[in-house]
A = this chain, B = another copy of it.
């Protein structure tokens, strides 16, 4: 029997307890040993909860119990979570987490500490919730030279964009509804400004390059300026609008990463990823594109991924899934040299000036767009586009990058 400690009895933490309880038979079979919740660390008490007697307020109790070999850090943040994770690993206890902020920031360091202390630091749940994603990338697509990852990694923004598309509604209106339904937080910035997706693509990029990709250096745009007008043009072009997080490995090993809304052609597999679901397309030099799709968040899916990591720790006795992500900094390509096709929307009155500023590929008509017009550019460098965009000032009403099917 292995004692597991759960740090944080919130949504994911209570999910971990539920998965361990409800699927105890499957879990024990796969782990080769029974797993039991030994402690739950939380600042609060939970009178009446069947696990109330497991709740402790002091992490040292967990740290000093030699029977606790695996710790689930599902409390979030990069303060106490970082300290506790470090201390657990230094004590030889494996840590499994859903905390993408911590993994993105300190993943390389914590993996190194784990290696030095003969234990594991696993984080399948930190990207794509319940979707098996990190394991397939690290342990299944092993015969590949991985070239790129492109994903819908944030369920909240995907829900908002799906609703805007289906209902023709305003961003603000849909956000409010998503907040009422609990799909968006009261302070939605981390989601809608793209920061959450940015952390996740930083983690995936680090795993693929084997080097540390700094989330702070990734070009990141959110969805707050997407309008119903953009969706009208998207429909006319046979596209959806999706917030994509992507990372492309260059020949020289450097990485172009960005988070931004894209017009995605309907025939592209990511175009069909709707509502709160996530989808991640991984490109290898032999297999081409494979996609992983499923619930990118939610109590039980996320908890299931955490428990799968716990099982790996139990099975391996601490030597689970060594993935090659070192502290060496990855070289990030100069984003201004990345090439994209842009969709541009401008006022009819400025047609001539705007069309003259870009290499135009094709014009686009949209219903209700009498006073404005849209077009796709040819593929062009981000820097060149940005220069022209700036020069035109408020003549350009909006621009969204484009992903063909």
Contact = CB atoms under 8 A, between A and B. Distances in A.
Given A135-B139, A291-B294, A294-B290, A285 B130 contact: no
A265 interface: no
Contacts of A130: 286-288, 290
Contacts of A290: 130-132, 292-295
B140 A124 contact: yes
B304 A30 contact: no
Nearest to A310: B143
A77 B150 CA distance: 38
Contacts of A29: 324
Nearest to A309: B143
Q: How large is the interface on A (under 10, 10 to 19, 20 to 34, 35 or more residues)?
A: 35 or more
A287 B300 contact: yes
Interface in A133-164: 135-136, 139-145
Given A30-B142, A141-B132, A288 B284 contact: no
Interface string A107-149: 0000000000000000010000011100110011111110000
A141 B309 CA distance: 10
A252 to B, nearest CB: 15
Contacts of A274: 267
A308 B23 contact: no
Nearest to A292: B292
Interface in A214-248: none
Interface of A: 19, 22-23, 26-27, 29-31, 124, 130-132, 135-136, 139-145, 267, 269, 271-272, 274, 284-295, 300-301, 303-308, 310-312, 324
Contacts of A139: 135, 139
Given A19-B143, A293-B293, 20 more contacts: A22-B285, A22-B286, A23-B145, A124-B140, A130-B287, A132-B136, A132-B140, A136-B136, A139-B139, A141-B304, A141-B308, A143-B311, A269-B272, A286-B300, A287-B304, A289-B294, A289-B295, A290-B293, A291-B294, A292-B293
A32 to B, nearest CB: 10
A135 B307 CA distance: 17
Contact of A26 (B140, B144, B292, B301): B144
Contact of A144 (B23, B141, B310): B23
A290 B302 CA distance: 12
Contacts of A324: 29
A369 to B, nearest CB: 27
Which of A26, A274, A290 has the largest number of chain B CB atoms within 10 A? A290
Which of A130, A140, A294 has the largest number of chain B CB atoms within 10 A? A140
